[in-house]
Amino acid sequence: MTTPAPAPPTDPDGFSFRAGSIQPSGVRKMFELSGPDAVQFGLGEPDFQPPEVAIEAFHRAMRDGHNKYTTSMGLPALREAIAAGWSPWCAGLDTRNVCITMSGTNALLTCALTLLDPGDNALIPDPGFVLYGPHAMICGAEARRYPCRFENGFVPDVAELEALVDARTKALYACFPSNPTGGGLTEAQRDGLIAFARRHGLWIITDEVYHHMLYDRPHVSFVGAGYERVLMVNSFSKTFAMTGWRIGYVLAESVEAVARASRLQYYVTACPNDAMQYGVLAAIEEAPDYPAMMMRAFRERRDRVVAALNAMPGVECAVPEGAFYAFPRVVVPGMTSADVAMALLADGVVVSPGTAFGPAGEGHLRLAFTTSMAQIDEGLSRMAGTLARLAAVPA
């Protein structure tokens, strides 16, 4: 029998415990504090527009009357295209393995609701994407952070995971390529994480929204790797520069898992956007090279950013394997990462302090190179000046 979770403290104003416990994102805070002339390295949003064929298909679908409720699982043709797209990793997928969601954010929440009960716990990366912990809390579960260290390429050590797991652990969150670190994963490292999950009967919630965004080697997925307890979250926000469209999906080899997620999806958003799904389908079918086009631009920016950061005092930056983030270690004696981020903000450069992504992010900053090369050069120049000035001030 499941032991009931202890009752949370009562809010004197009658608000829920979750409403008082979840705080605004540190990333969003820095963005909202910035001035109009600041160089933006803060938000992870591609500075591209969706493929023109997708915009035209979206518009045409609205004109053709696709403005109504759809099925909770989404447009069958889109689900079929997604399943086919994952065939290099996992053969035999079909529409039953895919549920379309209103964004990757929605997909992550749906996965949490599908797996986590009050009193459970989930293992989440630290540093890691800002939604994992709050989603566990919304479900009444505990988020247990596991460290992803700079020295290990931001990949977790299984021995440290073993120290965190117990009988109420239900899920392991993974994100590769990583937001915020840009870190990647080898097949051997993935297999080690799967072996750990198998030993403890855990589900893996794998966030693979950057799977099209690797620079030098193929994507390593948890899907199709011989372990069925996997719920994969994905999105078209980064793949096709559709952050404002809010379309994502849950994919799993387990048809039953997708069916359960779809049931919960109905009570979260009822169904995904009707016409928009036709736009996404057009992007998949008619603009398959679009992600590669963006990656050529991001590669040039990545190389410029990493070289410039490693030339700055007190900065050490690993080369990101994927996504469009640099996560340098920045040492300024007597200053936290938040202090450094605020000093940069005062000089017109918006970055995210590493602690926005968890306590293990202390000593790091996240830079999203999602702006023009001219803006990148200007921001890096300002940043070099700020860090040189801070280094010259006695601690």
Compute the radius of gyration of the chain from its Cα atoms: 21
Q: Is the distance from CB of 152 to CB of 159 less than 8 angstroms? A: no
Token duo for residue 378: 């200007």
pLDDT band at 9 (very low <50, low <70, confident <90, very high): low
Query: Phi, psi at residue 144, to the nearest 5°?
Result: -105, 120
pLDDT over 80 at 394, yes or no = no
pLDDT of residue 6: 58
Give 342: exposed, middle or buried? Use CB within 10 Å, 0-12, 13-18, 19+.
middle
**CA-CA distance, 389 to 240, in Å (whole number)?**
40
Which of 172 and 15 is assigned the larger pLDDT?
Answer: 172
3-state DSSP assignment of residue 354 = helix
Read off the pLDDT band of 37 (50, 70, 90): confident
Residue 145 CB: number of other CB atoms within 10 A? 17
pLDDT at 147 over 70: yes
Q: Give the other-Cβ count within 10 Å of 313's Cβ.
A: 14
pLDDT, position 86 = 98
Q: Which two tokens stand for residue 25?
A: 């994102």
Mean pLDDT of 191-218: 97
Residue 26 pLDDT class (50, 70, 90 cuts): low
Question: CA-to-CA distance for 60 and 279, rounded, in angstroms?
Answer: 9
Do 212 and 185 meet the contact criterion of CB atoms below 8 Å apart?
A: no
Residue 196: pLDDT over 80 = yes
pLDDT at 12: 77
Sign of the torsion formed by the C-alpha atoms of 80, 86, 88 and 93: negative
**Band of the pLDDT at 28, cuts 50, 70, 90?**
low
Contacts with 237 (C-beta within 8 Å, 6 or more apart), sequence order: 103, 104, 209, 243, 245, 246, 247, 248
Share of the chain above pLDDT 70, in %: 94
pLDDT for residue 7 is more than 80: no
Residue 260, number of CB atoms within 10 A of its CB: 18
* Structure-model confidence comparison of residues 341 and 31, the more confident one: 341
- Segment 336-355 shows an average pLDDT of 96
211-239: string of b/e by CB count within 10 Å (b at 16+)? bbbbbeeebbbbbbbebebbbbbbbbbbb
Instruction: Give the closest residue to 381 by CA, choosing from 316, 305, 297, 319.
Output: 305
Domains with residue ranges and CATH for the chain: 17-45+290-392 (3.90.1150.10), 52-286 (3.40.640.10)
Beta bridge partners of 173: 205
User: Residue 393: what pLDDT?
Assistant: 65
If one compares 373 and 30, the residue with the highest pLDDT of the two is: 373
Average pLDDT of every residue of the chain: 93
pLDDT value, residue 18: 80
Which pLDDT band holds residue 299 (cuts at 50, 70, 90)? very high
